[in-house]
Amino acid sequence: MALADEISPISPIGMTLQAFVDACADEGVGKGRAKEAYQAVFREGKTSSAPAKITMPEIVTRQEEPVNEGVTVKFVQRLPNPSHKLARHGIDFDDIESVIIPMIGRSGRKTHTLCVSSQVGCALGCDFCETAQMGLIRSLSASEIVAQWWAARFIEGIEIDNIVFMGMGEPMDNLDEVLTAIECLTDRTGASIPMANITISTVGRVDGLRRIKEQVQKPGWKRLGLALSLNASNDEVRSKLMPINKKWNMQQLQDILLELREVRGGRKIMIEYVLIPGVNNELEHADELAAWMNPFLKDPTREKAKGHGGLLNVIPYNPRRDSPWPAPTEEQVDAFVERLVSHGVFVNRRRTKGRDTMAACGQLGTAEIRKRKFVPVKLSASEDQSTPDA
Ligand code: SAH
């Protein structure tokens, strides 16, 4: 058997215990020692415990913003990327953002939700979203996703109760890595986040939701949380806001959601609705939305269940940079919510947290990368004249 200092270090970040044990076995390290090393990293926050060794990306920005429930913390990790297409201009890294959001539950207990990014930028081009403005740079690996949790837990020192894939990127555009990251985050030997406390939020890629339908039928996955960003009450408005709707429309979304409800034993899917004044906030929109949600309001598979199967999260729009629309007023949000409630929709009104630090929903997009989009780098005459992000 190899001696400790002869073993090449292995990073368990992004791996399940089993995957780490297998990798260790290749190095001649036994299961018991592999397990101890795995736990040292995920439970004690050690960066090194042979043969485990992890390298955390540097945190380049950190911003705190007091909110009613405590303090929202946004941190930016810098991932080295030597093959970056702007490397010759000195940009050989990718910045990704994560946000820790305090919440007070119904029982009065304070919890922390970590909002993680699944990609650097996003390809989907939703008109209201800040991240969309920078386009897609690349997808993150499972280990880069899990590293966001590790930094929140052990660098920020905050116990993370819930994880939502609502940061930069579309999880369904990077589903393999997202699912691998979730396997790691839920590993009972390690991070041990309950599956029910993890939510994937999607723009509504029906092909991805079909894969999720298969996935949630595997052992341990039934409770995975799902959120759909609907953001409109009819196809005309939705297609204008979210180009993906031209591929999969609201009827197709409703169909797959009903299929999912069946295989998930009636579990609710959170429907998210970003309320944008002058775009989707009229009372008629609320009526249309309630009609679209109608099949979810009563769940035939749960006759005796109290409450509603339809759960709608109304998110007041956070103006992105150069936004053509303002944030809605309190009155506009109230009127919209009241109308939905009158139709029997169970509405959760999300309070905006982190708007000042641009850490709120749809406001994630890093300054360095944004610069590339809006400020073309000057190139010498001999070089190609296209803008760098083209
Ligand atoms: N791509 C995934 C996850 C990232 S967006 C998705 O679309 O669900 C996370 C949530 O933030 C989505 O519900 C999205 O609709 C919302 N969002 C995006 N831009 C926003 C903005 N400017 N103001 C408020 N919410 C926004």
Q: What is the CATH number of the domain that holds 232?
A: 3.20.20.70
Confidence band for 321, pLDDT divided at 50, 70 and 90: confident
Q: Hey, what are 236's tokens?
A: 């005309």
Would 106 be classed as within a structural domain? no
- DSSP assigned state of 341: H
* Closest C-alpha residue for ligand 1 atom 1: 170
Check whether residue 206 and residue 290 sit in a common domain.
yes
pLDDT digit string (tens) for 273-289?
999 999 999 999 999 99
Check whether residue 243 and residue 351 sit in a common domain.
yes
* Closest C-alpha residue for ligand 1 atom 7: 203
Cβ atoms < 10 Å from Cβ of 383: 10
Would 379 be classed as within a structural domain? no
Which residue type occupies 281? N
Q: Is 97 in the pocket of ligand 1 (CB under 6 A)?
A: no
Confidence band for 112, pLDDT divided at 50, 70 and 90: very high
Cα dihedral sign, 164-166-168-170: positive
User: Which atom of ligand 1 is nearest to 319's Cα?
Assistant: 22
* Residue 361 designated active-site: yes
Q: Hey, what are 223's tokens?
A: 């409770």
pLDDT digit string (tens) for 323-345?
999 999 999 999 999 999 999 89
Check whether residue 46 and residue 164 sit in a common domain.
no
Would 166 be classed as within a structural domain? yes
Please choose from 120, 209, 274 the residue to mutate so as to test ligand 1's pocket, defined by most ligand atoms within 8 A of CB: 274
Q: How many domains does the chain have?
A: 2
In this prediction, residue 357 carries a pLDDT of: 53
Would 382 be classed as within a structural domain? no
User: Which atom of ligand 1 is nearest to 362's Cα?
Assistant: 19
Q: CB under 8 Å to 340, separation ≥6 — which residues? A: 286, 289, 290, 312, 314, 347
Would 97 be classed as within a structural domain? no
Check whether residue 22 and residue 170 sit in a common domain.
no
Spatial distance between the Cα atoms of 368 and 389, rounded to a whole number of angstroms:
12
Would 110 be classed as within a structural domain? no
Q: How much is the pTM? A: 0.90
Check whether residue 43 and residue 138 sit in a common domain.
no
Residue 303 has pLDDT above 80, yes or no: no
User: Which atom of ligand 1 is nearest to 122's Cα?
Assistant: 1
pLDDT digit string (tens) for 124-181?
999 999 999 989 999 999 999 999 999 999 999 999 999 999 999 999 999 999 999 9
* Closest C-alpha residue for ligand 1 atom 12: 229
In this prediction, residue 383 carries a pLDDT of: 34
Q: What mean pLDDT is predicted for residues 283-310?
A: 76
Would 65 be classed as within a structural domain? no
Question: What is the extent of the structural domain holding 283?
Answer: 116-369
Average pLDDT, the chain: 88
Distance 229 CA to ligand 1 centre (A): 7
Check whether residue 318 and residue 206 sit in a common domain.
yes
Top mean pLDDT of 86-90, 176-180, 292-296, 357-361 is at 176-180
Check whether residue 274 and residue 152 sit in a common domain.
yes
Check whether residue 210 and residue 297 sit in a common domain.
yes
Would 102 be classed as within a structural domain? no
Distance 378 CA to ligand 1 centre (A): 33
Q: Is 99 in the pocket of ligand 1 (CB under 6 A)?
A: no
The single residue of 24, 122, 184, 361 carrying the catalytic annotation is: 361
pLDDT digit string (tens) for 13-55?
999 999 999 999 999 999 999 999 999 999 999 999 999 999 9
Residue 359 has pLDDT above 80, yes or no: no
Check whether residue 129 and residue 44 sit in a common domain.
no
Helix axis angle, 250-263 to 206-215, nearest 10°: 0
Q: How far is CA 228 from CA 155, 172, 272, 274, in A?
A: 31, 11, 6, 11
Write the DSSP assignment of 259-305 as a string of letters. Answer: HHHHHTTT---EEEEEE-TTTT-SHHHHHHHHHHHHHHHS-GGGTT-
Check whether residue 299 and residue 188 sit in a common domain.
yes
Q: Phi-psi bin for 377: left (phi > 0), alpha (psi -120 to 50), beta? A: beta
Spatial distance between the Cα atoms of 97 and 117, rounded to a whole number of angstroms:
6
Q: What mean pLDDT is predicted for residues 352-375?
A: 50
Check whether residue 12 and residue 128 sit in a common domain.
no
Q: Is 231 in the pocket of ligand 1 (CB under 6 A)?
A: yes
Check whether residue 125 and residue 21 sit in a common domain.
no
